[in-house]
Structure 1
Amino acid sequence: MEVHRGAERRTAQLGELLARDLAGVTGDMAGHLAATIEPLQGDEQLLRLLAASTESNLDALARIMRYAVRATEPVAPIAAQEFARLLAQRGISSNAMVRAYRLGQEGLLDWALDQLAEMESDPAVAVAAARHLVELTFGYIDAISEQVVHTYEAERERWLAHRSTVRVAMVSEILGGGQPAIEAAERALGYRLRQQHLGIVLWSRGATSGLDMAVAERVLEALSRLTRAVGQPLVHARDRAVTWAWLPLGREAVLADPALLALEIEQYAGQVLVATGTPAAGVEGFRTSHLESLRAQQLAMAAGDAARPLTSYDDAEVRAGAMLAGDLESTRRLVRSALGRLAEDTAGSARLRETLHAFLGEQGSYTATAERLHLHKNTVRYRVERATEARGRPLDDDRFELELALVAARWLGSTVLVEPG
């Protein structure tokens, strides 16, 4: 009896420890799963949901361990169900999800047994606690995995039943580099390819929320109006959270004012984010503009909470930022090296970086920078001096790297900046 009570106490302590270090254990486990399960790699949306699902499941297990909860029918967390649905929409086998649960249980038990070895000197209590942990985790994983597989199958059936197979196949063929007969392709798509196109990606801001299609439609209407589109956009729902679209711009593409576009989309910033390519013509332009919009989206996704409502590949800084986002670790080193203390993630440093960025863009003119930022010239001079001091070296020293680092800081924010101190 004493061994049994000791085992329960140790299990509860492990639950408390897991709850306290939930973020750390989640990060390690989600990273291992992402690196091990090949079908999940390279899809930022899937990886974000994998992390959210991992955290919610570990949180539930921590409560079970702490309070000896023995629910006969635990309910799969919302994030876990959304992860299952997204896998179904991506056409990824449910085996990847089931494997994630098996590896997750293995990882949790490895972590728990390491902790147990440090906290318990009585072998009998340690063995009893280990058995208790296996029993609790197996019961939970068995019940939850059955539920998420059911969610996956239901979503896969629904998704297949409601999508236009022919249209999806044609979009996939074109994006994959195919050269279909133009007339046949246009009939399948219900969209004219012999014109200028603007590729667009719309996605939900929340990691576990689906894209509100009513909001997406309003955004596309606004973009169509401002770009003077000549017809209805071609819309392709990639999954519940991401939609691809193309605006038909006719023979002469109109470059809409970026400020007007951003202002129009700003009102939906809490629900949807938008990335756009640049106008391009024909089948190749259909593909190219879409690929550019994906690169702009990747930059926005890498920026995390710093992402702007609209990220346009037409902006030279976005094109540079997209390349910098492709290797975040190298970009972080560049930012630290080129900016010095100016790389600190504070409001004060952000003001100095923004002023310095404008100053360099205006070819070192205090007057032009003041007009651009609506500041007094003396304020600009003071901020530039402060920025130079924080950097720790003259502005002309590695000027190119300085400008790249300022672009990275502006578009990627906290992802590449350093904590103050």
Structure 2
Amino acid sequence: MEPDDPRIRAIVKAVASALREQLPAVAADVEQAIVDAIPDLAGDDAAALRAGIGDSVDAVLRVLAEDSSPEAPPAAIEDAQRFAQRGVPAVVLIRAYRVGQARFLALCMDQLLGQTDGDGVEVQASRAMVAAASQYSDHVVEKVVSAYEEHRDAWVRDRSAVLAMRIRAVLRGDAVDISATERTLGYRFDRDHQALVLWVDDHELDAHARMRRVVRALGDFAGDGGPLVVPLDESTMWAWLPVASSVLAGDELAVAVKAEPSVIAAVGEPVRGLEGFRRSHRQATDARGVALAAGPARMTITPFADVAPISMLCRDLEAARDWVHETLGELAIESARNEGLRETALVFLQTGGSYTATAEQLFLHRNTAQYRVRKAEEARGRPLRDGRLDVELALLACRWLKGSVLRPPAP
């Protein structure tokens, strides 16, 4: 008889319907088989694992009873994501499904045997074959997937090392075969490039995946081909985006990074050609220096276009701190009140000294903007327009470098 034979379908539905009536017990049986085979799988998430297994058993029984299309239950997807965050290897997850499948099929065979007249020798034989095949698959899949993961990890490490070596040679300006390098990298130099340096502060195993997601999202905005991505270590990555025409806007950068808030990005400006490839990377590296100097209070995104003059101050932070204090006076004291005054003063200078434009940009009443500017001048001890360029640069340094250039409040 073929699987679509009505008699077979009737038997399958009868077995599935009977098991659905015992769903909690069936799910618990399958869960116990998985936990017995892989004791560490549940960990502190036994309740979540139980929910995932229960939903999976219910889903497969529904497929058998109703002849519906198979879909992965949300709880099962959440289990997989949680195991990934815990660093559980894929082979363990695959084995859990193998063990669960074997136990589930055994329960199906038991139910079928109970519904069959006679000695049930055919069912017993089928059960023995399923058990043997499942045991074989469980053993072989574990070995094969482990070999795959080991080889792939080694291959990725080796390839990353080769890419990093080639990239460093290009960045140093070494005499290299450009055509051969482009083929190795899968990336052309004869276009506009926007470089990024990305990093994370944690040491989770999925750091590279998170950074790559940000690069892919930015690449979608840039829209001129695939990016070049070079992992440097477990928590740092270089990337270049081929850009069509203009620099990525701040809101585009924010959208890309928002989905991965743990990723910090420093961004160069788009520059054309091989020298542009190098120059944009130098800019991104300088922007990263600003972010690192700011410490934990840094921005998530640091575009070089916003911090170009600040990056030079980072080469001597002690001198920069003294200069900021001399330029801003008591406005350089670290406090929430002064932070608001500095931001208002900076926007005031950037808008050409317009109270109206300042109020509009900061969503303030014009009188409030005027009041804050006056208080900023009182804290400084002189008008903002005195030494205007120095004041604007010092205020920018306070915005981006935070406590690295601010004075602590008096005790």
What TM-score, normalized by structure 2, do the two folds share? 0.59
| Unaligned segments of structure 2, at least 5 residues | 1-152
Letter of the structure 1 residue corresponding to residue 220 of structure 2: R
CA positional deviation for 1:214: 1.7
Deviations, residues 168-187 of structure 1 (Å, cap 9, x unaligned) = 32212101112422211111
Shift of 1:254: 3.1
Superposition map of 1:189-228 within 5 A: 189-206=185-202, 212-228=207-223
Superposed CA offset, 1:341-381 (max 9, x none): 11111110000000010111111111111111110000001
1:374 aligns to 2:370 (yes or no) = no
- Cα distance, 1:192 vs structure 2: 1.4
Residue of structure 2 in register with 1:295 after alignment: 286
Pair 1:253-2:249 in alignment: no
Q: What SS class does the counterpart of residue 395 from structure 1 fall into? A: coil
Shift of 1:164: 4.1
Aligned: 1:360 with 2:349? yes
Q: Which residue of 1 aligns with 2:169?
A: 173
Over the aligned positions, Cα root-mean-square deviation in angstroms equals 2.0
Give the Cα separation in 2 of the matches to 1:214 and 1:158: 17
1:312 matched to 2:303: yes
Cα 1:161–1:331, aligned 2, differ >3 Å: closer, same or farther?
A: closer
Structure 2 residue aligned with 1:262: 254
Query: Out of 212, 230, 233, which is 1:239 matched to?
Result: 233
Cα distance in 1 for partners of 2:159, 2:250 equals 33
Rate the CA distance shift 1:234–1:392 in 2: closer, same or farther, 3 A: same
Contact conserved, 1:211 with 1:240, CA < 8 A, in 2?
no
Tell me, yes or no, if the aligned pair for 1:204 and 1:211 is still in contact at 8 Å. no
CA distance in 2, matches of 1:234, 1:398: 43
- CA offsets, 1:10-56, max 9 Å, x none? xxxxxxxxxxxxxxxxxxxxxxxxxxxxxxxxxxxxxxxxxxxxxxx
Report if aligned partners of 1:352, 1:386 keep a CA contact under 8 Å in 2: yes
Q: Please state whether the residue corresponding to 1:202 is helix, strand or coil.
A: strand
Could you say if the C-alpha distance between residues 279 and 161 of structure 1 is closer, same or farther in structure 2, counting changes exceeding 3 Å? closer
- Is the 1:234–1:245 contact (alpha carbons within 8 Å) kept by the matching residues of 2? yes
What are the superposed Cα offsets for residues 90-111 of structure 1, whole Å, 9 maximum, x if unpaired? xxxxxxxxxxxxxxxxxxxxxx
Instruction: Decide which moves more: 395-404 or 356-365.
Output: 395-404
| Separation of aligned partners in 2, 1:396 and 1:165 | 52
Amino acid of the residue matched to residue 176 of structure 1?
R
Cα distance, 1:340–1:159 mapped onto 2, change above 3 Å: farther
Q: Which has the larger radius of gyration?
A: 2
Letter in 2 for 1:234: L
- The secondary structure found in structure 1 opposite 2:169 is helix
2:166 maps to a residue whose letter is M
* 1:11-160 matches, cutoff 5 A: none
- Structure 1 residues 197-206 or 404-413, which shifts more? 197-206
* Cα deviation, residue 264, structure 1: 2.9
CA contact (8 A) 2:218 2:252 kept: no
Call closer, same or farther: CA 1:192–1:340 in 2, change over 3 Å.
Answer: same
Name whichever of 188-197 and 329-338 sits farther off.
188-197
Q: Which residue of 2 aligns with 1:332?
A: 321
**Cα displacement (A) at 1:158:** 6.7
What is the match of residue 146 of structure 2?
Answer: none
* Equivalent runs, 1:276-287 vs 2, <5 Å: 276-287=267-278
Residue 29 of structure 2 is matched in structure 1 by none
Which residue number in structure 2 is paired with residue 349 of structure 1? 338
Instruction: Tell me how far apart the structure 2 counterparts of residues 161 and 185 of structure 1 sit (CA, whole Å).
Output: 19
Higher mean C-alpha deviation, range 163-172 or range 213-222: 163-172
If the length of structure 1 is used for normalisation, what is the TM-score?
Answer: 0.58
User: Partners of 1:158 and 1:345 in 2: how far apart?
Assistant: 49
Aligned with 2:269: secondary structure? Answer: coil
Contact 2:290–2:314 (8 Å) recurs in 1: yes
Higher relative contact order (CA 8 A, sep 6+): 1
Q: Counterpart of 1:314 in 2: which secondary structure?
A: helix
Unpaired segments ≥5 residues, structure 1: 1-156
Structure 2 distance, partners of 1:174, 1:273, is 25
Residue from 175, 180, 185 that aligns with 1:184: 180
CA displacement at 1:160 relative to structure 2: 9.6
Show CA shifts across 1:183-238 (max 9, x none): 111112121122211111100134x667711211210111111122x222111111
Summarize the Cα distance change of 1:210–1:387 in structure 2 as closer, same or farther, 3 Å threshold.
farther
Cα distance per residue 1:110-161 (max 9 Å; x no partner): xxxxxxxxxxxxxxxxxxxxxxxxxxxxxxxxxxxxxxxxxxxxxxx97995
> How far 1:392 sits from its partner (Å)?
1.1
Q: 1:405 aligns with which of 367, 372, 394?
A: 394
Does 2:315 align with 1:321? no
Q: Percent identity?
A: 43
Once the 2 structures are TM-superposed, how far is the Cα of residue 166 of structure 1 from its aligned partner? 3.6
Letter in 2 for 1:369: T
> Moved runs in structure 1, 4+ residues, more than 4 A?
157-161, 208-211
Hey, what's the Cα distance between the residues in 2 that align with 1:298 and 1:357? Answer: 22
Indicate the residue corresponding to 1:43 in structure 2.
none
